[in-house]
Amino acid sequence: MLMTFITELVTYMAENYNELLALTVEHILMVAYGIGLSLVVGVPLGILAARFEKLAPIISVPGMRTFSRVKVPNCEGSSNS
């Protein structure tokens, strides 16, 4: 059963090599664009948060609380609940 699956998988990959390669390249480009966009937006916001203490809570903590389930320290260094 496992050998049948592996054989069919290899056959599928060999028959659809061009499409799989194109989709892989498309996926890698989408990931690169996402990372690039997050850097273009995130680095300037991080610099603003570091330079202007009054902006730091507005820029960093609410966004992290909204989009993350991971506990992150707030600007004062104590952890969020």
pLDDT at 29: 98
Q: Is the pTM of this model over 0.75?
A: no
**Local mean pLDDT, 10-residue blocks, the chain (81 residues):** 94 97 98 96 89 80 54 54 48
Task: Kindly tell me the burial class for residue 5, based on how many C-beta atoms sit within 10 Å of its own C-beta (0-12, 13-18, 19 or more).
Answer: exposed
pLDDT at 57: 76
pLDDT at 58: 78
Q: Is 77 helix (H, G, I), strand (E, B) or coil?
A: coil
pLDDT at 75: 56
